[in-house]
Amino acid sequence: MQQSQSTAEVMTLRDKEYKCGIDVTLALVGGKWKASILWHLAQDTMRFSDLQRQFADTTRKMLTQQLRELEGDGLVHRKVYPQVPPKVEYSLTEQGKSIFPILEMMCDWGSNYLKAANTP
């Protein structure tokens, strides 16, 4: 209420409208793998194959796709080494790093929620 009502303006990002910063954040990291990817990259720059190993239960295609979107949104930096076979390193941009505290809280909150849910 205070947020969107007081400004009364709609926020737009890539042709989509958002009433509130929350929706923007969710649009950026709400994908099925994005938050986890950011979480992992926060600890280390990683090669594509490293990420594949971490996310063994998804496909190369999904990883590529999510990474490209994160890159397009300025949260992840993609560095290609011009060599064969290819070498590509992913790391967080400053903006990507800035979301880490939120991810941390989400991680803790989710764990605590489950703990509470599983101890009736």
If you search the block for the tokens 């989710």, which residue do you land on?
110
**2, 38, 89, 105, 112 from 118: Cα distances, Å:** 36, 28, 39, 20, 10
For residue 10, state whether it binds a copy of itself (rule: CB under 8 A): no
For residue 91, state whether it binds DNA (rule: CB under 7 A): no
- Out of 16, 25, 45, 86, the residue judged to bind a copy of itself by CB under 8 A: 25
3-class SS of residue 82: coil
For residue 114, state whether it binds a copy of itself (rule: CB under 8 A): yes
Instruction: Give the pairing of strands 16-18 and 46-47.
Output: unpaired
Angle, CA 61 vertex, CA 46 and CA 33 arms, to 5°: 60
Shortest reach from residue 16's CB to a copy of itself, in Å: 11
Question: Which residue, 61 or 94, has its beta carbon nearer to a copy of itself?
Answer: 94
If you search the block for the tokens 């992840």, which residue do you land on?
76
Kindly determine how many residues on this chain lie close enough to bind DNA according to the rule CB under 7 A. Answer: 22
Binding site for a copy of itself (CB under 8 A): 1-4, 6-7, 11, 13, 18-26, 28, 30, 35-36, 39-40, 43, 54, 56-57, 74, 95, 98-99, 101-103, 105-114, 116-117
